[in-house]
Amino acid sequence: MELEKYHQIKNFGFIIEDMTQGKTGMGWEGIFGKTHLFIDGEKVISKGFELTSTVCEFYLGIKNLFEKGRDGNTYFCCTCGDHGCAYIHWDLALKDGTIFINMENLLGEPIGKHLYSIDSYKFIEGILYLYGKVTEYMRKNNIKKVQRGELKDFERMQSEIKSYLK
């Protein structure tokens, strides 16, 4: 890994708009939202996603990242219910408290600056924001369960991810 090729992220965050509950194109119940990912002030991703499946995949990815040092996946879930359809693939690697991200579409074309590095704390905080939006929406709208789990499942995953903040 040639570290000088990686753009060091100073600011990393999501904004979620227009959250709704409904059925995916595959017919299962989910929570949707227009998701914007900003990296150092640049909007890198702006698309509608099914958020409960997205946060579940990030949960598994973060667990793998901290247990095995690597993970790669199509974490974002399209509103149709298919992760591949979202057309975003991230490869993650963890070394000495830094997460290295290779961000591409499914054709292997770069997204944003393509290769990023970020302090693991900042990355986890960004993902926790997604969890917070999902759990807050479920509570506010008295949603007990969607296809990917119950409110308590998302709260448990959120709590487990918080344990990686160091």
How does pLDDT run across 153-166, given as a tens digit for each residue? 999 999 999 999 87
Give per-residue pLDDT as tens, 43-65: 999 999 999 999 999 999 999 99
Of the candidates 110, 116, 60, 114, the one whose C-alpha atom is nearest the C-alpha of residue 83 is 60
Q: Is the pTM of this model over 0.85?
A: yes
Q: What is the pLDDT of residues 4-47, one digit of tens each?
A: 799 999 999 999 999 999 999 888 899 999 999 999 999 999 99
Is 140 in contact with 46 (CB distance < 8 Å)? no
pLDDT for 2 equals: 66
The full set of domain ranges for the chain reads 3-162
Q: Which CATH code fits 3-162?
A: 3.30.2450
- Tell me the pLDDT tens digit for each residue of 91-130: 999 999 999 999 998 888 999 999 999 999 999 999 999 9
CA distances from 77 to 30, 49, 95, 112, 113 (A): 11, 5, 27, 19, 22
